[in-house]
């Protein structure tokens, strides 16, 4: 059956990015009367992700320190970098593999996106589409302290595939970490040494507004 969405959660990021009304009556009216759209979903091993999966620092903070999470998500890249420094965060060692690239080393954050935003409005993949058969990946690699200005500049440029902030699209992605990588799958904690993300095209029939910007 088609899935209608009424945004009664904490952040409602998927609904907000899709322009689903925040008001209860309007959201119910849309769910009952608008036409469904077949959207993609992601699999993460045996789990399913409709919106965004994050790995590394963001997932660690989500699981351990929700107050700090709310504080840094509101302030964009500057606050993110400040939090990393303040917490003395150590990057995760691992490897990311796609069909056309392999990135090995230290990473701070990885976001694997079907939707556009998470964490209460944080635009992780501003141009992501729910119907293109691709996942949008944001990766922040470890960086020396004297390069923080470069990292901030790259993070604030949504289309840039830079030196420390990588952005790309792919059909599948594998994450390997010998110590285990904490993840957050649509808000649910998950951890594994190896995770394979794949796109399942047109997996869900979801009722969306006719002018939804994500399709």
Catalytic sites, residue numbers? 188
| Nearest CA-CA partner of 49 in 157, 196, 155 | 196
Q: CB-based contacts of 56: which residues, under 8 Å, 6+ apart?
A: 91, 92, 107, 108, 109, 110, 181, 182
Scan for tokens 């869900």, then name that residue.
204
CA distance 212 to 45: 29
Burial class of residue 34, CB neighbours in 10 A (0-12, 13-18, 19+): middle
Q: CB-based contacts of 120: which residues, under 8 Å, 6+ apart?
A: 10, 11, 13, 70, 73, 74
How far is residue 32 CA from its own chain's centroid?
A: 28
């Amino acid at each position: 059956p088609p899935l209608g969405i009424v945004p009664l959660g904490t952040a409602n990021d998927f609904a907000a990015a899709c322009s689903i009304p925040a008001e209860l009556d309007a959201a119910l009216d849309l769910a009952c009367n608008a036409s469904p759209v077949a959207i993609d979903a992601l699999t993460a091993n045996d789990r399913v992700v409709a919106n965004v999966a994050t790995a590394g620092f963001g997932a660690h903070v989500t699981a351990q320190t929700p107050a700090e999470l709310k504080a840094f998500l509101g302030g964009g890249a500057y606050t993110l970098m400040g939090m990393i420094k303040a917490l003395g965060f150590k990057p995760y060692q691992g490897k990311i593999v796609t069909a056309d690239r392999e990135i090995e080393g230290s990473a701070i954050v990885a976001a694997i996106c079907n939707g556009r935003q998470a964490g209460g409005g944080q635009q992780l993949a501003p141009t992501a589409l729910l119907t293109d058969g691709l996942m949008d990946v944001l990766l922040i690699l470890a960086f020396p302290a004297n390069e923080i200005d470069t990292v901030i500049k790259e993070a604030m440029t949504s289309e840039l595939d830079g030196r420390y902030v990588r952005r790309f699209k792919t059909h599948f992605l594998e994450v390997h970490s010998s110590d285990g990588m904490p993840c957050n799958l649509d808000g649910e904690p998950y951890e594994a040494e190896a995770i394979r993300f794949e796109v399942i095209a047109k997996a869900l029939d979801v009722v969306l507004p006719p002018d939804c910007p994500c399709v």
